[in-house]
Each structure stands twice: as structure tokens, then as C-alpha cells.
Structure 1
Amino acid sequence: MKNKEEVTIEYDRQDDQTEEGVIVPLDRINPDTLRKMVEEFVTRDWSELTDAGRTLDEKIEQVIQQLEDGRAKVVFDLTTETCNIIPLDRISKR
């Protein structure tokens, strides 16, 4: 039986394409792995986010807080077989 969070979803990519993915519950991700994933996300995508002079650790903590608060989700992309962090407002459950 699937975990309640393990549903196929559609999400809008930044280039206006739609992808299918699976939400990965945070409790299924090793904390060290999650932090490395967030660090990679922050260093790759932060230029599009508000910087306000934050340090790398502050940016990482901000994203982790958004994940813990449910404002963003870790999504496994079924096409590229990679994980990404997606804001909740770009996710639509099917």
C-alpha cells in the first residue's frame, strides 16, 4: 500500500513544461542526504530566489524550513529520474 504522500503528481517546471513526479516524504530521506540535496538546490537555483545577503547555511535552513512546513516538497521526477524541490503552489495532484 502506498504512503499517503506517494501519489503521482503533475508539476509546472520553470520553463512552463509539465512533468510527472512522486512526492517523497521527508521521513524517508536520510537527514544528511536531505541537507546535501537542499544545498545542491540552493547553489543551483538560488539566483532566481530572493537573496538579501544570506549565507549558504541560512539559505539551506530556509529551504529545509519550507519543506518541514509543507510549503515545498521533494519530488522524484519520473522522466529524468532525479529529485527536485518544488514549491507547493506548482504541484497539482491527479
Structure 2
Amino acid sequence: MIIPVDELETDTLLNIIEAFVLREGTDYGSEEVSLKEKIQQVHQQLKSGDALLVYSELHESVNIVPASQFNTD
């Protein structure tokens, strides 16, 4: 189930994004990117629709996935 990001409290959304960024351990290449910048980038992707906030009933968890990889059929 897709969770509309505009229906969440800002602090809640930012905490979800921070947990995602820390969990993913994303490699940004040779350029150092701060945690704050990573959170801002993911937040922007969620706001623009490039990424989606998805709740899994099976796993009872929330994840952030690229919109292009989410099957909406």
C-alpha cells in the first residue's frame, strides 16, 4: 500500500527517511554526502513522486522504493 507522504507529520516522515538512509548504507561514490543531505535528497524524491513510501502488510514495515520499480497494476 502506498502511503501519501503529504498525509504524514513532517517529523514522522523525516524519521522514516533517516531510518531508511541509515539502513540502506547508500554509496554516493567518491563524493562525501552528509546524512542531512541524503535525507533531503530522499525527501525531495518522495515529494516529486520519483520514490514512494510503501507499507507492507505482510512484513508490517514501511520502505521507500523507486517509483519505477513499484508495480501499480
Specify which of 16, 33, 58 is matched with residue 54 of structure 1.
33
> C-alpha displacement at 1:28, in angstroms?
1.5
Please identify runs of 4+ aligned residues in structure 1 that moved more than 2 A: 49-52
Q: 2 CA distance for matches of 1:69 and 1:27? A: 11
Query: Residue 19 of structure 1 corresponds to which residue in structure 2?
Result: none
Cα distance in 2 between the residues matched to 1:38 and 1:71? 14
Residue of structure 2 aligned with 1:89, choices 64, 68, 71: 68
Q: What is the match of residue 6 of structure 2?
A: 27
Cα separation, 2, equivalents of 1:60 and 1:46: 12
Give the whole-Å Cα distance in 2 for the aligned partners of 1:69 and 1:46: 22
Aligned 1:9-24 pairs, distance under 5 A: 22-24=1-3
- The count of residues paired between Structure 1 and Structure 2 equals 72
TM value normalised by structure 2: 0.90
The structure carrying a bigger helix percent of its residues is 2
Displacement after TM superposition at 1:93 (Å): 1.0
The answer to which structure has the higher strand fraction is 1
The alignment yields a C-alpha RMSD, in angstroms, of 1.2
State how far apart, in whole Å, the 1-side matches of 2:66 and 2:25 are: 13
What SS does the aligned partner of 1:73 have? strand
Match of 1:12 in 2: none
